[in-house]
Structure 1
Amino acid sequence: MLIPASIMGIAKMAAPDSTRYAINGVQFHREESGECVATVTDGRCMLQIRWDDEEVRHNLEITGVSCAPVKGFSIIADARFCFAAAKRLGGKNAPSKRRYVLLDESAEKGVVRMATNDGYATIIATAPAAGDSFPDVESIIPKYTVGEDANVIGLYPEVFAGAMSVLAEAVESTKIDQGVCLIVPNDRTKPVLMRTKGEEACGIAVAMPCKIDGEVECR
């Protein structure tokens, strides 16, 4: 399985210090259709990425590692191991084939084997899998019907995440686990309102939406 460098970054969403080993890492899975899936959760939030590696995997050969896909393959890679593998990748200006981590789907059971290339040499590393079972995340993915029980609005990631974090820190709402209230308008062209309060202060943030052409579907 060829994993783009950008996808390896989802390991930061794991809970590496948790005693629940299953959420210490990232689950990599290949569906029967051949599609690749990476899933991570810290027990409160879940993130899942899907991609197709067939084209970039074509004619790829690395001694000591199998590039062959295995339908139904699934392994949980420790978050720290994922970070270490990603750090060995070539930079943004490196050839495209060096911006991927190769996960050996033919490795023995319970073993994560990854190969990376830093532009100078190929490095193959192995580590024990972070457990053998992963939370049933499919059962918690909401099945909304847009226009009936849900609405779609586009937000710039850096603006939305940045505003929410700064707002929560400013009023210290994170200290009392207050969270941030999100108010989404029915009109997707209007701004989103965020509201929160701490023990001594309260505040709001307004984030302008970005344009979305139709409903985004990734499943």
Structure 2
Amino acid sequence: MSKSLNTLFAALLLSSAGNVLAASSVDLTVKGLITPSACEPTLSNGGVVDIGKISAKDLNADQETHLPSQYLQLGVTCDAATLMALEATDNREGSNFADDMAHFGLGLTNDSEKLGGMELRIVDPIADGVSPWIIGLQNGSSTWIRSYYFARDNILSVANTGGAIPIPVQQFTSSLRINPIIAPTSGLTLNNEVAIDGSVTLTVIYL
């Protein structure tokens, strides 16, 4: 990369030699903040939900099938009270059959068909011993709104009850409800076993 930059700079210098004029300029400013506090997210059972084996005959042919909700315990522990949010990243991007931002993919069939999707919802949150509101901020927006569902284009944070401004927290716990949904089987090839293969990464974002 440095070699390419040096070549470019040399070309620019040669092209401007002998033509001494006042040049226009623009400033680059780099900003950031190093926080002394760190937050660690955790999920019970190693973050693994095993739905088990499901017979294809028990799935709906012409409409989606909602499988029983699954639950994990979600926790975030910080060194000190910290302004933070959680972001969910779909590691099976492109496999969500609903093709919207509120669902995360469950993988593809052996014939590369979108198997289904899942919803992720925060349930019964506790922040530093108090029941808070959960608020969400969509990409490109500056307004926090009450929202308990993760989406592929939002982050979730904690607010006082009735509020819409993130507050610092040190200890956060909740249930994470996972709602798996299988696409109509009329559009799926299920002649052989197909793995339900959802994967989402939850990341702490410092505000």
Normalised-by-shorter TM-score class: under 0.3
TM-score by length of 1: 0.20
Q: Which has the higher contact order (CA 8 A, sep 6+)?
A: 2
Q: Identify, as 1 or 2, the structure richer in strand.
A: 2
TM norm structure 2: 0.21
The structure with the greater share of residues assigned to helix is 1
Structure 1 or 2, whichever has the larger Rg, is 2
